[in-house]
Amino acid sequence: MILEQKVFLENAIEQLKKEKSIIGIAAAGSYITGEMDDFSDIDLVIAIEPENYNRVMNEKLEIAKGLGNLLSAFTGEHVGEPRVLICLYDNPLIHVDLKFVSLDDIAHRVEDFIILWEVDNKVSEKLKEEQACFPEPSSQWLEDRFWIWVHYGAGKIGRGEIFETVELISFLRQTVIGPLILLKKGKQPKGVRKIEIDAPEYLERLKQSVVTYERESCYEGLKKIVELYKELRSEQNSEFKYNQDAEKASLKYLEDVYHKYVMKEGA
């Protein structure tokens, strides 16, 4: 943790402690693993007395303003977490996520955060009720969808909707390939977060899936995504059900599109 982050965090704790309804403050994210660097956000979990939770949620922006020079803030509905207030502060310029959680709900968590301050061990005791569980993608859920996504991408290549295809390939890397690689490496499946550090042996192949605005590039990138998926998928347990018919049909369609449209375009 750099000095600016440390100073901000210490001040934020002191300010938050002044709100009587706040009974605990914890740090999440890279603070837990000690991997904070110059580019790290500060992720705070703020425990609230249940009877005052709604009031605090209505006042969360004012609370955030009291922690420093707040430039901008918005809630996290886009990631399915409206309890989080995503903030940008100045002097120092720093990104801070403030997650306001009722004490009744705090045991339901994705990681074991570090308690920085609490009242009467209330947070510590509540956390004993449930183990942290980071959501992992279901391999069967991915298999049931992957070949439809491949077919969709092939159709977009054929039609010439290249921007849409570029976005789809990025989506597949973020939603399917990255998480499966990180799980294999024993890491949390957070898309492609820190994959350069956690799985360097996959970098060259992942880079081959990064495409340019060309049909040929999109075809090759989608093929690389398929190659990686089939390799990673092959490590599933005996209950895993391959959707062989969908796989065969989608890959044939991709090759048909390539020969009818992509090769013709390059001729």
Q: Residue 46: how many CB atoms within 10 A of its CB?
A: 23
Answer for the pair 191, 175: CB distance below 8 angstroms, yes or no: yes
pLDDT at 4 (0 to 100): 86
- Fold for 139-266, please state it: Four Helix Bundle (Hemerythrin (Met), subunit A) (1.20.120)
Q: What is the CATH number of domain 3-127?
A: 3.30.460.10
Preceding amide of 92 cis, omega within 30 = yes
Question: Chain centroid to CA 117: how far?
Answer: 27
Tens digits of per-residue pLDDT, 97-146?
999 999 999 999 999 999 999 999 999 999 999 999 988 888 999 999 99
Task: Count, in order, helices (H) and strands (E) of the chain.
Answer: 13, 6
How many residues does this entry show for the chain?
267
Where in the chain are all domains bearing CATH 3.30.460.10? 3-127
pLDDT beyond 80 at 238: no
* Token pair in block for residue 141: 């859920």
Beta-strand pair 69-76/94-102: unpaired
79 pLDDT more than 90 = no
d(CA 256, CA 240): 29
Beta bridge partners of 19: none
Q: Give pLDDT, residue 248.
A: 98
Where are the domain boundaries for CATH 1.20.120 in the chain?
139-266
233: pLDDT strictly greater than 60: yes
By C-alpha distance, which of 144, 140, 132, 210 is closest to 178? 210
CA torsion 46→52→56→58, rounded to 10°? 140
